[in-house]
Structure 1
Amino acid sequence: MKTFTLVSSLLAAAYAAPAPEQAIGEARDVTQAAPVPIDNPLMRSTEQGVKVLPRMSMTEPKDGAKRTTVKYGNWMVSSTKMMSTIKLAQGPCGLAGCYVTAMEATIRYPDGKEANVDTNAWLHHIALFGTGGGGGSIWAAGNERPTLRLNTGSKYGFDFPSAFMLMIDLMTEDVKPKNLTLEITYEHVPRTTPGYKAATMYWLTIGEPAAKTGKYSFSTMPSIVSGAGQLLYSIGHMHDGGDNMSLYVGGNLVCKSVMHYNSRAGYGKDANGAADEHAGMAGMAGMAGAKGKAASGSTAAAAMPKTASGGMVGHSHTKRQHAHGGGGGLHISDPGACTDFGTVTSGQSMKATAFYDAGKYGLMEHNGAKERLMGNMRVYIGPTSTGLFG
């Protein structure tokens, strides 16, 4: 991938987006949906860095929150070109604002069926960034489609902007075009909800190093915590071959996000054979993220995801052929999450290390070449004193 300026990235993505497209921001209330039983052992686990948070469809809303699913357009996608676009989009709360306490994304076919690796469809990656109360980088995911939840224990949420920039990459291996719709489901409470405070995200990334053989690791640049806070949620994003993303605060290991693998042939089952609603292959090239704390009042340019060196992230839109070799056809389906796992103090240094084992898991290939790797760690911190966002 190349490094672009913000303007050229936006223009390139705009030209790459197929037309016509539905309006951004079609929403529906899903608060009253009946919970689906949880039958995946990973979702019942309480082990930090191993557990997988249940999808919102499997749980009741917390603290009287409302759930809203927003459709962000639909696109015709084929194997001839990755669909990539950047859009100005709206959140679930409007101008009144809210704290978003949980969110997750998926893609669907026109009949409402979830589109995933079992039907050769990938939510390659998605990223939200913008200005306003939340500021900066907000959230990101690949095809593993993890659930973010900031109020598992304490009353925190993301101070969500009324509008934000939305980066979307969708892919398929099929020549015949697929009609895919992106959906994001939010759980949110009013800003006036007693006890709730705003969290922020630090984004640690290794960039896009070249793949190697055997066991090896890459570390991110350090990020300095700007105020005392609670470590609310952290999760890693890696490519196939990844074993774990480990987060260090002040030199001490505080979270080891373990990558769970699943075979393409066994889509819909976890490693223990239980039905897994969001099993699937990890986003093919993932998200090259921003190193960075989110600063209140930052501009859209400052919030644009960046490489470790600070350059703007761009994406290639050429045709890609994907080889699914290595590791017995296993692919990353779920990254383990850490929740409510400690505290940080102002001035502490955070960094993450991506551990790969290409011999054990195998690597992905694009056009006969090994795919460049990724290791991103999203760390959400809730303030316990003033100054966290300053």
Structure 2
Amino acid sequence: MAFYERSRSRGNIFYLSITVAFIVTLLTLWLGLLSYTTPFPAAPPHQEPVAADDDSHHESADIQNPENLIQLQPQFFTDLGSKRVQIKYGPFTVPGSGTNNGMKDFVDEKATKPCDDCLITYMRAGLQYPDGANANANTGMWLHHVVLLDTAVPDTVCPKDRKGRPVPNRFFASGNERTAMDLSGASTIQTGYFLSAQSQVVVTLELMNQMAEAREAVLTVEYEFIPSPIPKSFKHAKSIWLDIGGYCGNSEASVPNDTSTFDFNMQPGWKVPDGWEENLLVFLGGHLHDGGTHLEAMKSGGIFCDSAATYGANDDFIDGTGEKMAHISNMSLCHKATTLKAGDELSVKAYYDKTAHPMMVDADASLEPVMGIAILYAAQSEGGN
């Protein structure tokens, strides 16, 4: 079986990342390259690609310019020469619904980077067809999930897997809700994820096609970033992955048959390690599957964020295959929710209600497994570059 494909009907985010991690790490070594919820300014809407003004801030050698990259208008920290780009990955051929329920994993081990030695302040994933039309539930094509990995940085919560293999850092993730990860809170927080020149970005994704025939889809990711030199006042954000399957475990959980409401709790939680300086948790985004109502994030047993699911906020998230089922379109976000220090224990708890929200069903009439994931960003003391 090719390692890009899977014999199951859907995937395991963590273990797919591990497989990729191991292969990419070996290649990297061989090549010698390793030297919470409060009112908040809304993130800007998803932009259609438009060319940047000719008088925009200076170009820099650390800005990537491949054919699959489109320059957009930056929204934040424009006085610092910020840049916004959309990168297209693919196209990927997704099998028809009769093959593995129309699901398939894909990996881009040498994905195009937005920049080198830059501070990423905003990320958002999307899905299109090759002609540029939006792909979503209304047309039967899903961005089931996507995870971006940084090979130059060990994963914060799971630096090595159970076999001792290194795990690259999971610095961005999205489901079909396509949450905008605005780390800076619309320019109110001086922080972002630092992407070094040594970093290789790996994209792992799973797409789902509800139509009978195979079709192509293109992953898009919008990035906004501050290019080098980065002011010292801007802190590097550390990404933290919390998962009901455990921080080094399987991301999926089977749906119980004997109850309409149920929940899954992350066990054990992740303890903030010794030496961690107290810092601000600047952003949290949650991810659930259909049937999910909300995701609680806890610090040492106390809830600091409750990320609630909204269904069918627009027509893109209404099933177009005949049943008109509403799917998760938004997860509420938490900004500046709490601080973290050494010894704190973080965990998440996912809540589901089959009666309130129908769940996804496979071709054999079984209910799809569910997830409960949060990705957090904590501002570190280190800044600039």
State the match for 1:242 in structure 2: 292
State the match for 1:57 in structure 2: 47
Question: Relative to structure 1, is the Cα distance of residues 370 and 323 closer, same or farther in structure 2, using a 3 angstrom cutoff?
Answer: farther
Q: Distance in 2 between matches of 1:8 and 1:339?
A: 29
State the match for 1:294 in structure 2: none
Q: Distance in 2 between matches of 1:92 and 1:375?
A: 28
Counterpart amino acid of residue 189 in structure 1? I
State the match for 1:89 in structure 2: 110
Give the counterpart of 1:206 among 234, 244, 255: 244
Indicate yes or no: 2:177 matched with 1:154. no
For structure 1, the 5+ residue unaligned runs are 14-45, 269-278, 282-321
Counterpart amino acid of residue 214 in structure 1? S
State the match for 1:137 in structure 2: 170
Contact 2:235 2:381 in 1 (8 A): no
Shift of 1:190: 2.0
SS in 1 for 2:152: coil
Give the counterpart of 1:216 among 235, 241, 262: 262
State the match for 1:302 in structure 2: none
Contact 1:102 1:148 in 2 (8 A): yes
Counterpart amino acid of residue 98 in structure 1? C
Contact 2:37 2:337 in 1 (8 A): no
TM-score computed with the length of structure 1 as normaliser: 0.68
Greater relative CO, 1 or 2 (CA 8 Å, sep 6+): 1
SS in 1 for 2:315: coil
Indicate yes or no: 2:372 matched with 1:372. no
Range moving further from structure 2, 361-370 or 85-94: 85-94
Q: Distance in 2 between matches of 1:209 and 1:346?
A: 30
State the match for 1:273 in structure 2: none
SS in 1 for 2:131: coil
Question: Relative to structure 1, is the Cα distance of residues 52 and 361 closer, same or farther in structure 2, using a 3 angstrom cutoff?
Answer: farther
RMSD: 3.3
Question: Relative to structure 1, is the Cα distance of residues 51 and 197 closer, same or farther in structure 2, using a 3 angstrom cutoff?
Answer: closer
List per-residue Cα deviations over 1:306-329 (Å, max 9, x = no partner): xxxxxxxxxxxxxxxx9997xx82
Indicate yes or no: 2:373 matched with 1:383. no
Indicate yes or no: 2:138 matched with 1:118. yes
Q: Distance in 1 between matches of 2:18 and 2:125?
A: 27
Give the counterpart of 2:336 among 331, 337, 340: 340
List per-residue Cα deviations over 1:299-356 (Å, max 9, x = no partner): xxxxxxxxxxxxxxxxxxxxxxx9997xx82321111111122212221111111111
Counterpart amino acid of residue 148 in structure 1? M
State the match for 1:168 in structure 2: 205
Contact 1:115 1:121 in 2 (8 A): yes
Indicate yes or no: 2:234 matched with 1:196. yes
Q: Distance in 1 between matches of 2:253 and 2:206?
A: 20
Question: Relative to structure 1, is the Cα distance of residues 233 and 157 closer, same or farther in structure 2, using a 3 angstrom cutoff?
Answer: same
Q: Distance in 2 between matches of 1:119 and 1:5?
A: 29
Report how many residues are paired: 298
Shift of 1:89: 2.9
Range moving further from structure 2, 64-73 or 174-183: 174-183
Counterpart amino acid of residue 157 in structure 1? G
SS in 2 for 1:365: coil
Q: Distance in 1 between matches of 2:308 and 2:17?
A: 36
Q: Distance in 1 between matches of 2:112 and 2:225?
A: 10
SS in 2 for 1:256: strand
State the match for 2:56 in structure 1: none
For structure 2, the 5+ residue unaligned runs are 1-7, 24-35, 49-72, 156-168, 246-251
SS in 1 for 2:47: helix
Q: Distance in 2 between matches of 1:329 and 1:50?
A: 30
Contact 1:324 1:364 in 2 (8 A): no
Counterpart amino acid of residue 255 in structure 2? A
Q: Distance in 1 between matches of 2:322 and 2:299?
A: 36
Question: Relative to structure 1, is the Cα distance of residues 240 and 68 closer, same or farther in structure 2, using a 3 angstrom cutoff?
Answer: same
Q: Distance in 2 between matches of 1:49 and 1:254?
A: 15
SS in 2 for 1:169: strand
Counterpart amino acid of residue 365 in structure 1? V
Contact 2:147 2:173 in 1 (8 A): yes
Shift of 1:76: 2.7
Q: Distance in 2 between matches of 1:67 and 1:280?
A: 30
State the match for 1:254 in structure 2: 304
Q: Distance in 2 between matches of 1:374 and 1:230?
A: 26
Q: Distance in 1 between matches of 2:264 and 2:315?
A: 30
Q: Distance in 1 between matches of 2:17 and 2:302?
A: 39
Q: Distance in 2 between matches of 1:185 and 1:257?
A: 23
Shift of 1:250: 2.0
**Map of 1:320-339 to 2, 5 A cutoff?**
329-339=325-335
Shift of 1:180: 1.4
Q: Distance in 2 between matches of 1:56 and 1:170?
A: 20
Contact 1:134 1:200 in 2 (8 A): no
Contact 2:291 2:356 in 1 (8 A): yes
TM-score computed with the length of structure 2 as normaliser: 0.69
Contact 2:37 2:335 in 1 (8 A): no
Give the counterpart of 1:100 among 120, 125, 128: 120
Shift of 1:165: 1.6
State the match for 2:88 in structure 1: 71
Contact 2:236 2:381 in 1 (8 A): no
